[in-house]
């Protein structure tokens, strides 16, 4: 009977590990575990996900490109950008001629993003940094996105508030809401479509619209209230802020440095490592 108890115990342990590490992706074990799991899976991530280019274009690239057509030089921020999925489909659209900053807390995922988006390198910036502290001034971006990530963050509402802070009045927010059978296995981290829309309305967003997308996710589109006025093109040095003290930064050889001498290395692959500040 002892071996039966041992087998049962191992089965329970295996089920618990599968839930915590595969389904919840470490979300209940803290931010460091989430980041570790994404770093470990970075090289295989796109193979695991098996993104369909046509599907990505139809649901992500094309509508987002069209939404940005009224902006002469659109600047977008992709939070938890991963391997550059959204950037790849957006820059394949003939009508998009903007720039994009890809930010992620998992350094190895950004390395993959640099590799997979190489054809558009001149229009992309990669930043290693925590999404709960976005290193930009208020009202910076014409559009902000965060796909398939909020439910794995320690404080999703804090990240949403940060995203709205850096979004310009009249700017577009694109995010996702976890649905489906597996959402039930993420208690406290998922909510119904109605509740998610209400959350965005409570943050002051307008034109909140839920769009059917995948078995496990809805797409959510929303607009920050206000009128977006034209502004001249902005350089990275005018946009970037030190995550430690909030001061503006300037680029030196091999690093970005703020007036308080906090240094963020510029890695060989082009990633700005603000997480090291």
Q: What is the predicted pLDDT for the residue at 139?
A: 96
- What are the structure tokens assigned to 254, written together? 């091999």
Helix (H/G/I), strand (E/B), else coil: 186: coil
pLDDT score, position 59: 95
Whole-number pLDDT of residue 192: 95
The full DSSP string for 116-134 is: HTGGGGGGEEEEE--TTS-
Domain segments of the chain as ranges: 47-223, 236-276
pTM reported for the whole predicted model = 0.95
Name the fold adopted by 47-223.
Rossmann fold (3.40.50)
Q: pLDDT in tens for each of the 277 residues of the chain?
A: 677 777 777 788 888 888 888 899 999 999 999 999 999 999 999 999 999 989 999 999 999 999 998 888 899 999 999 999 999 999 999 989 999 999 999 999 999 999 999 999 999 999 999 999 999 999 999 999 999 999 999 999 999 999 999 999 999 999 999 999 999 999 999 999 999 999 999 999 999 999 999 999 999 999 999 988 888 888 898 999 999 999 999 999 899 999 999 999 999 999 999 999 8
The phi and psi torsions of 97 (rounded to 5 degrees) equal -135, 35
Distance (Å, rounded) from C-alpha 126 to C-alpha 239?
13
């Amino acid at each position: 009977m002892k071996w039966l108890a041992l087998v049962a115990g191992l089965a329970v342990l295996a089920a618990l590990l599968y839930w915590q590490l595969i389904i919840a992706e470490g979300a209940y074990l803290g931010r460091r575990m989430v980041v570790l799991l994404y770093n470990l899976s970075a090289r295989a991530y796109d193979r695991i996900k098996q993104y369909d280019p046509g599907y990505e274009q139809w649901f992500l690239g094309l509508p987002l490109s069209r939404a940005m057509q009224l902006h002469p030089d659109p600047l977008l921020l992709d939070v938890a950008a991963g391997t550059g999925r959204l950037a790849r489909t957006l820059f394949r659209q003939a009508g998009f001629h903007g720039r994009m900053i890809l930010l992620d807390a998992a350094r190895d995922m950004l390395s993959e993003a640099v590799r997979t988006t190489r054809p558009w390198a001149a229009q992309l910036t990669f930043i290693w940094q925590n999404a709960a502290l976005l290193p930009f001034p208020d009202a910076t971006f014409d559009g902000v996105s965060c796909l398939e990530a909020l439910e794995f963050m320690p404080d999703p509402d804090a990240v949403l508030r940060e995203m709205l802070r850096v979004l310009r009045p009249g700017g577009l927010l694109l995010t996702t809401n976890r649905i489906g059978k597996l959402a039930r296995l993420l208690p406290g981290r998922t909510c119904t479509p109605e509740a998610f829309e209400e959350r965005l309305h409570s943050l002051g967003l307008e034109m909140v619209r839920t769009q059917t997308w995948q078995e496990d996710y809805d797409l959510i589109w929303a607009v920050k209230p206000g009128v977006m006025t034209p502004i001249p093109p902005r350089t990275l040095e005018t946009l970037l802020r030190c995550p430690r003290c909030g001061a503006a930064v300037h680029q030196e050889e091999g690093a970005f440095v703020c007036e308080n001498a906090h240094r963020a290395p510029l890695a060989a692959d082009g990633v700005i490592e603000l997480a090291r500040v």
